[in-house]
Amino acid sequence: MEQQAGAARHANTGETRKARRVFRYVPFTIEQDVTAEPEYEARCVSGDETECGARSGTHCHPGPVEEWQRKHTQETRHTRYRRNFGDYAVMQPPAEWVALVRANGGTA
Ligand SMILES: [Zn+2]
């Protein structure tokens, strides 16, 4: 299945090669999007057959999540958690590349 998809993609590349523009390598830097708050969350995965499944809820700082874990452990003696962290990233082109694109009327 995966091989088929790869073959199809390859064939497609061959067909459109002449029409495609060749893009220069742009050394993007990856930055955290400061306009969107990161998300921290923990879920209790203690238990042999079935997980406890209790959740901390989503917070924009790790502090409240850790506090919830301590409290949950104190109440239940559960000691194993699955932690999730999510944030948004923005690809930032170098300043000289942005200037070049503007100079070429945005077609570089
Ligand atoms: Zn638990």
- The whole-number pLDDT of residue 15 equals 47
- The whole-number pLDDT of residue 99 equals 85
Whether pLDDT at 12 is above 50: no
Share above pLDDT 70 across residues of the chain, in percent, rounded to a whole number: 77
Residue of 44, 45, 74, 47 whose CA lies nearest to 56: 44
- The whole-number pLDDT of residue 29 equals 93
Q: How far is residue 54's CA from residue 75's CA, in Å, rounded to a whole number?
A: 12
User: 47-97: per-residue pLDDT in tens?
Assistant: 989 999 999 999 999 999 999 999 999 999 999 999 999 999 999 988 888
- The whole-number pLDDT of residue 18 equals 59
Mean pLDDT, rounded, of the chain = 83
Give distance in angstroms: CA of 81 to centre of ligand 1: 8
Tell me the pairing of strands 39-44 and 81-86: antiparallel
pLDDT bucket at 3, cuts 50 / 70 / 90: very low
Give distance in angstroms: CA of 90 to centre of ligand 1: 36
Give distance in angstroms: CA of 98 to centre of ligand 1: 50
Are 88 and 36 contacting, i.e. CB atoms less than 8 angstroms apart?
A: yes
Q: How far is residue 41's CA from residue 63's CA, in Å, rounded to a whole number?
A: 10
Name the residue with higher pLDDT: 1 or 71.
71
Tally helices (H) and strands (E) across the chain: 3, 4
pTM of the predicted model over 0.85: no
Write out the residues surrounding ion ligand 1, Cβ under 5 A. 44, 46, 52, 54, 76, 78
